[in-house]
Amino acid sequence: MSDFDVGPDEVEHIAELARVELNEEERALFAEQFADILSYFETLDEVPETDREPELTNVMRPDERRECLDQEEALQNAPESEDGQFKGPRVS
Amino acid sequence: MSHNGYITEEEIAGEDGPLAGKTVAVKDNISTEGVRTTCGSAMLEEYVPPYDATVVDNLLDAGATIPGKTNMDEFGMGTTTETSAFGPVENPAAPGHVPGGSSGGSAAVVAAGDADLALGTDTGGSVRCPAAFCGVVGIKPTYGLVSRYGLIAYANSLEQIGPIAPTVEDAAELLEVIAGPDERDGTTHDARDHGTDYEFAAAADGDVEGLEIGVPTELLDGAEDTVVEQFWAAVEELEEQGASYHEVSLPSLEHAVEAYYVIAMSEASSNLARFDGVRYGKSGGYDGNWNESFARSREEGFGEEVKRRILLGTYALSAGYQDKYYKKAQDARAWVQQDFDEAFEDADVLASPTMPITPFEMGESLDDPLKMYLADANTTPVNLANLPAISVPVGDDSGLPVGLQIVGQSFGEKQIIRAGSALA
């Protein structure tokens, strides 16, 4: 069993952090499933600390203007736009 | 008969080139300019990309015709192609069963003969699993061989675009077209800097004389008996053609699935944060505060499996739990890489069943996410280690296809193509 005390309230807290609204049914279902899944993930405790060799390197390019999407293309998928800009919800 | 393999059937015609006259279906998480690209999600039901992915440019330059965009598990999150908002795909090779996932539409249209070839994407087995379940060939390239520019990200450190085809030679020919460095994807490499070249199709000569195959015992332990039987029959076939094998233990592989899911979910929780219903996707409306609006957009736009993974990823990265899950998963990833390095000291390639099981019946795994995750035991280690692997069909169990996975060393595509072509 996971030491994570999974209940609908905890699921709701994570959902808030993730900006996902859930209905009551989803909260209950996820609470039940997360207990199983997280206790399975806990077998990672048996993994020894292992040195990592980073394989990725930074790739740089000169900071110069180049071809990109125009304003119309950038806005074409927005549910709503105003004066050539994205329209988002009110910042309260 | 329709297997629901396509989400959008809209033809895009290419120029002239090596793929002239060939149809290549494209998974619906790969951007096509002017043709909607949904990722199998209601969130992107009406999303029309303003640009092409690099691999799409490559296909059209090579003369291919794209017949449509293929169905997939929502955002690539699934092993059965049942989590799509556009309905499940049925396996043309095994009616009533799932085609595997997440590139189930791509494998299904190739298996049904509705397209000559297809592109899928493989984050934890999503090309190899459906190839195995539908009785066709799939290749997951070395991380960095193929550009991901224009691929809508799920877990960027793990995923690669790869070919699905009826034969190894056809898959190799398609890989040749899409492989190569791209200045728009900083993680791409030039294979020529890694002691090889791009002559993949020519490598499909079936010559396995002197090939030494390592068989990781951990990847046989959890497999169904009938799958194991088919696997050994295929190894025997390779032996008869001049290869030899030995068994080898890679203890880290016992932890690959959990490490994979922690890393993939963590990356997904970050990648999918971009879907807020403002620049694209379902609007959450304009009332209330903006966090509520975003949360509404995501409640409506995302399906259950996507929500599950975003939440678990958010949890694994949250304060107090990051060391316990994410950091340990990175340790496991490094351990898996070390184990593969050691195994390749005595073997040219490693072989296992692609999937430990034959295809689920449709609906069978939907209520049990952990059961679905565990089916990825043999494919996920390859993504954690950034290695190339191919799945080739090696027979069936009462009509249910079985695939053999051959794993190569980094940029060892030619070696796995050569070995695979001895079988299919």
Question: What is the pLDDT tens value at each position of chain B, 424 positions in all?
Answer: 589 999 999 999 998 999 999 999 999 999 999 999 999 999 999 999 999 999 999 999 999 999 999 999 999 999 999 999 999 999 999 999 999 999 999 999 999 999 999 999 999 999 999 999 999 999 999 999 999 999 999 999 999 999 999 999 999 999 999 999 999 999 999 999 999 999 999 999 999 999 999 999 999 999 999 999 999 999 999 999 999 999 999 999 999 999 999 999 999 999 999 999 999 999 988 888 889 999 999 999 999 999 999 999 999 999 889 999 999 999 999 999 999 999 999 999 999 999 999 999 999 988 899 999 999 999 999 999 999 999 999 998 889 999 999 999 999 999 999 999 999 8
Residue A2: band (very low, low, confident or very high) from pLDDT cuts 50, 70, 90: very low
Residue A85 lies in a domain: no
- In whole angstroms, give the CA distance from residue B228 to residue B231: 5
Q: What are phi and psi of B212, to 5 degrees?
A: -100, 120
Pull the structure tokens for residue B13. 């015609």
Contact assignment for A19 to B307 by CB distance below 8 Å: no
Nearest residue of A to residue B385, measured between CA atoms: A55
Q: Are B325 and A89 an interchain contact pair (Cβ–Cβ within 8 Å)?
A: no
Predicted complex: ipTM over 0.85:
yes
Domain boundaries, given as residue ranges, for chain B: 6-206+355-420
Is a pLDDT exceeding 80 seen at residue A1?
no
Q: Which residues of B213-250 are buried (b: 16+ CB within 10 A; e: fewer)?
A: bbbbebbbebbeebbbebbeebbebbeeeebebeebeb
Active-site annotation holds for B126: yes
Q: CA nearest B404: which of B255, B251, B243?
A: B243
A-facing residues of B in 130-159 (CB < 8 A) are: none
Within-domain flag for A78: no
Asked, for residue A18, whether it belongs to a domain, the answer is yes
pLDDT at A51: 86
Catalytic residue at B352? Answer: no
pLDDT tens readout for residues A11-48: 999 999 999 999 999 999 999 999 999 999 999 999 99
The count of domains in chain A is 1
A16: in domain: yes
Q: Assess A63–B contact: CB distance below 8 Å, yes or no.
A: no
Tell me which fold the domain B6-206+355-420 belongs to: Amidase signature (AS) enzymes (3.90.1300)
* Chain B hits for A46, Cβ within 8 Å: 255
Phi, then psi, of B164 in degrees rounded to 5: -125, 130
pLDDT at B131: 98
Percentage helix, strand, coil, to 5, in chain B?
35, 15, 45
Confidence of residue A55 (pLDDT cuts 50, 70, 90): low
Q: Does residue A62 fall inside a structural domain?
A: no
Is the model's pLDDT at A6 over the cut of 90?
no
Kindly list the residues from chain A whose CB atom is less than 8 angstroms away from the CB atom of residue B292: 21, 89
Give residue A15's domain range: 8-46
Residue B263: closest CA among chain A residues belongs to which residue?
A41
Residue A52 lies in a domain: no
Note whether B386 contacts A: Cβ–Cβ < 8 A. yes
A68 in contact with B, Cβ within 8 Å = no
In this structure, the dihedral spanned by the alpha carbons of residues B179, B105, B26 and B350, taken in order and rounded to 10 degrees, is 0
- Are residues A73 and B296, on separate chains, in Cβ contact within 8 Å? no
Which domain CATH number covers A16? Answer: 1.10.20
Q: What is the pLDDT of residue A90?
A: 80
Say which of B22, B27, B282, B414 is annotated catalytic: B27
Best of A3, A22, A47 to disrupt the B interface by mutation (most B CBs within 10 Å)?
Answer: A47
Give domain status of residue A25, yes or no: yes
Asked whether the beta carbons of B185 and B54 are under 8 A apart, the reply is yes
B252 is catalytic: no
Average pLDDT, chain A: 89
**What's the angle, vertex CA B219, arms to CA B89 and CA A56, rounded to 5?**
80
